[in-house]
């Protein structure tokens, strides 16, 4: 029986138990009041961002209802259309003023946080949130204040692009040579992580002293404690980023697992700030990386085929005409779908079970033995792909789906254009 270990940081940062009140896409369905259409409420609270995008496309310009305003605002946040999102969220706040709907107001505050955080503008969020302190847990405020004192995240963008060769073309991950606080380091690119993470030993190596404590929830709903710190700089090729917030595992076992992967695990936020990534598929795994030149974006939230859910990239997947929103996770060697997806299409697509596989996500106590789908035909952003030995996981979210490096290999490559929020599967140019 083949043994696979799949490592990923598919985690949502939680600074304290109270931070749940400001999570953008909470599973707490009591978050939104009855003033929002019940069917749209499920879209607002669920993972299927592209279904929400489809709903917004169906709206008429004349529709100024609270449901429509919230849906438009959330899609703009998901599309990283910062200016448009800010304007729409202000409309939502104006619509909510005088309603006394505290739950709905908290939802808007959470979307505002995601919009500011994606830009690295923590001071902007603190200024905005000063009028609604009841929504902000003290531990969260203290961490934002620490980040502000250290300085805003910045990216020094050269005029020319850079190309880096994967250090381990026969391995399961994207590992590159980089420089952290002036020290040479191996960098793992993990788009499935909303955090940039390094072990305690590597933190000391780079002169960091973690402070505070965060609770981070993993994909198995288990919580792990992390400390906070901030890198002075990290450089990949000729692209340098400064004042990068990082987290450091407190639990010894998890800290050891992080240390075994690389010197640092670069999360999606830092990957996004590179402007774009091209990944080539050659034989066993990916082997390319490139930064795009800066460009003026004419993107519309309704035209993008790349949406960002809790600081992780989603692409549009069609299975038998049904739309799913799947995470692209370069920190995972293989793909997962929910057991419900297998059951739904078992007869129509004549799906067959494959050999079981052992898989483990970073944050889970141990590896799990999972059933697989022998072959799963799907279309990702318009590109037909046949995935083999797709792992099946039981999950309360029927849309649960994430695509690992096997998807990139099957497609022949992947191009992320973060300037225009596009993801193209197929051989790179």
Least confident of 144-153, 195-204, 214-223, 295-304: 214-223
Q: pLDDT higher for 150 or 8?
A: 150
Q: Phi-psi bin for 43: left (phi > 0), alpha (psi -120 to 50), beta?
A: alpha
Please report the pLDDT score of residue 298 as a whole number.
Answer: 56
Rounded to 5°, the CA angle 271-274-275 comes to 110
Residue 67 pLDDT > 80, yes or no?
yes
Q: pTM here?
A: 0.83
Query: Quick one: how many helices (H) and strands (E) in the chain?
Result: 12, 20
For the segment 95-104, what is each residue's pLDDT rounded down to a tens digit? Answer: 887 777 777 7
- Nearest residue to 202 (alpha-carbon basis) of 214, 224, 187: 187
The residue-averaged pLDDT of 224-231 equals 76
Residues in the chain: 429
Which pLDDT band, with edges at 50, 70 and 90, does 322 fall under?
very high
Q: pLDDT digit string (tens) for 263-312? A: 888 888 888 887 777 777 753 333 334 444 444 455 688 888 999 988 88
C-alpha span between 416 and 429 (Å, rounded): 12
């Amino acid at each position: 029986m083949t043994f696979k270990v799949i490592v990923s940081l598919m985690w949502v940062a939680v600074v304290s138990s109270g931070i749940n009140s400001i999570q953008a896409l909470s599973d707490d369905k009591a978050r939104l009041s009855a003033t929002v259409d019940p069917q749209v409420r499920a879209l607002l609270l669920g993972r299927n961002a592209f279904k929400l995008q489809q709903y917004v496309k169906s709206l008429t310009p004349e529709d100024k209802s609270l449901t429509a305003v919230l849906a438009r605002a959330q899609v703009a946040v998901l599309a990283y259309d910062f200016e448009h999102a800010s304007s729409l969220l202000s409309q939502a706040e104006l619509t909510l003023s005088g309603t006394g709907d505290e739950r709905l107001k908290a939802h808007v505050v959470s979307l505002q946080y995601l919009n500011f955080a994606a830009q690295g503008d923590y001071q902007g969020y603190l200024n905005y949130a000063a009028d609604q302190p009841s929504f902000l847990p003290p531990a969260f405020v203290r961490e934002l204040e620490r980040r502000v004192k250290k300085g805003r995240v910045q990216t020094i963008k050269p005029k020319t692009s850079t190309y880096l060769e994967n250090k381990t073309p026969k391995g399961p991950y994207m590992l590159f040579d980089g420089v952290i606080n002036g020290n040479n380091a191996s960098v793992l690119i993990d788009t499935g992580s909303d955090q940039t993470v390094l072990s305690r030993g590597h933190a000391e190596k780079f002169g960091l002293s973690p402070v505070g404590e965060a609770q981070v929830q993993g994909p198995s709903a288990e919580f792990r404690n992390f400390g906070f710190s901030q890198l002075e700089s990290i450089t990949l090729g000729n692209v340098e980023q400064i004042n990068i917030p990082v987290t450091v595992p407190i639990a010894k076992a998890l800290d050891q697992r992080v240390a075994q992967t690389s010197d640092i695990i670069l999360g999606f936020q830092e990957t996004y700030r590179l402007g774009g990534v091209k990944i080539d598929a050659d034989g066993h795994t990916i082997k390319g990386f490139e930064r795009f030149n800066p460009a003026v974006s004419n993107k519309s939230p309704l035209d993008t085929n790349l949406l960002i859910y809790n600081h992780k990239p989603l692409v549009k997947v069609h299975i038998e005409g049904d739309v799913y929103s799947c995470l692209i996770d370069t920190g995972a060697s293989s793909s997962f779908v929910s057991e419900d997806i297998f059951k739904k299409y078992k007869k129509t697509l004549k799906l067959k079970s494959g050999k079981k596989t052992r898989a483990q996500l970073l944050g889970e106590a141990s590896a799990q033995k999972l059933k697989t789908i022998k072959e799963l035909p799907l279309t990702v952003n318009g590109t037909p792909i046949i995935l083999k030995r797709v792992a099946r996981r039981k999950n309360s979210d029927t849309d649960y789906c994430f695509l690992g490096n096997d998807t990139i290999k099957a497609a022949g490559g992947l191009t992320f254009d973060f300037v225009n929020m596009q993801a193209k599967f197929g051989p790179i140019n």
